[in-house]
Amino acid sequence: MNLDRELQTRDLGNRAALALEAGLHEQAFELITRSILLNPQVPATRLIQAKVELAMQRPAGALSALDFHDMYAPHQRDLPEVACLRAHAMVLSKKTFKAQQILQQTVKDYPEYATAHRLLAQVLLATSQKIDAIRHLKEAVKLHPEDNVSTRTLATLLEDTDPRESLKLMESLPMDAMTPEEILYQARLHHKLEQLFEAETLYD
C-alpha cells in the first residue's frame, strides 16, 4: 500500500471515530466503510467499525468486525477494550451468559479496567444477581469516579440497605448534571436519615 492510501485510510478512521463521538452514527458508518474499502486489514479500523455497529444496535455487524480484528491482530484479542466490545455485542444478541463469562474473565485479568466492572454489573442486574452487581458497581465507581451513570445506579441500589452511602453517592454528582427528579430523590434520602433541614433546603 502506498503512503497516500495509508494516510487516507487512517484519516477516514479518525473522522469516523469523531463522528461516532458526536453521535453522528450514519456519518461514522459511511466514513468507516470507506476506510475499510481502502484497507480492510487495519485492526484499529475494525474496532471503530465494531463501535459504530454497536451504536447503531447491530450486534451481528459488531461481532463480524471483531472477528476480522482478531484475524489481523490475534495478540490483541483478549485486551479489555476488545473483550468489552464483544461482551456488549453478546448482550445485544441476548447471549447474556456468554457476555457474563467474557466479562468475568476480563475483570479477573484486568481488575482495574472500570468499563468491564460496569458492564458486568449491568449483566448481573439483568440476571437478578444484585449483590454481585453492587460489588462490581462499587469497583467501577472507585476506579472511575466521574462515571455518573454507575454512581446513580449504585445509589439507587443502596437506598434501602445503606441510605447513608446512597446519599453520599448522590451528593458526589455535580449539581449541573442532576435532574429535578434526582434532587427530589436526594431530599428523600435526607428525610429518611432524619436530616430534615437538608431535606427542606433541597425541596425549596
pLDDT digits (tens, 9 = 90+) for 23-59: 999 999 999 999 999 999 999 999 999 999 999 999 9
- With cut-offs at 50, 70 and 90, classify the pLDDT of residue 1: low
Instruction: Judge whether 44 lies within some domain.
Output: yes
Q: What is the domain extent for residue 5?
A: 1-77
Output the pLDDT for position 198. 53
Q: Return all residues near 172 (Cβ < 8 A) that are at least 6 apart.
A: 145, 151
| The model's pTM | 0.85
Q: Are the beta carbons of 169 and 134 closer than 8 angstroms?
A: no
Give residue for cell 460489588: 135
Considering its fold, how many domains does the chain have in total?
3
In this prediction, residue 173 carries a pLDDT of: 81
Residue with cell 484475524: 71
User: Do 140 and 188 reside in the same domain of the chain?
Assistant: no
Q: What is the pLDDT of residue 195?
A: 64
Could you report the per-residue pLDDT of 144-202, keeping only the tens digit for each? 999 989 999 999 899 888 888 888 888 888 877 677 777 777 777 767 776 654 545 55
- Cβ-based neighbour number of residue 175 at 10 Å: 8
Q: Find, among 30, 27, 23, 63, the residue nearest to 46 by Cα.
A: 63
Residue 8 has what pLDDT?
93
User: Is residue 88 situated within a structural domain?
Assistant: no
Q: Are 89 and 54 in contact (CB under 8 A)?
A: yes
178 torsion bin: left (phi>0), alpha (psi -120 to 50), beta (else)? beta
Instruction: Judge whether 202 lies within some domain.
Output: yes
For residue 197, the model assigns a pLDDT of 45
